[in-house]
Amino acid sequence: MEVNDKSPDFSTTDENGKEVALKDFRGKTVVLFFYPKADTPG
Could you read off the pLDDT of 1-42 as tens digits, one per residue? 888 888 888 998 988 999 999 999 999 998 877 777 776 665
pLDDT of residue 42: 57
**pTM score:** 0.55
Largest CA distance in the chain: 36
Closest CA to 4 of 40, 32, 39: 32
Sign for the CA dihedral angle at 29, 35, 22, 6 comes to positive
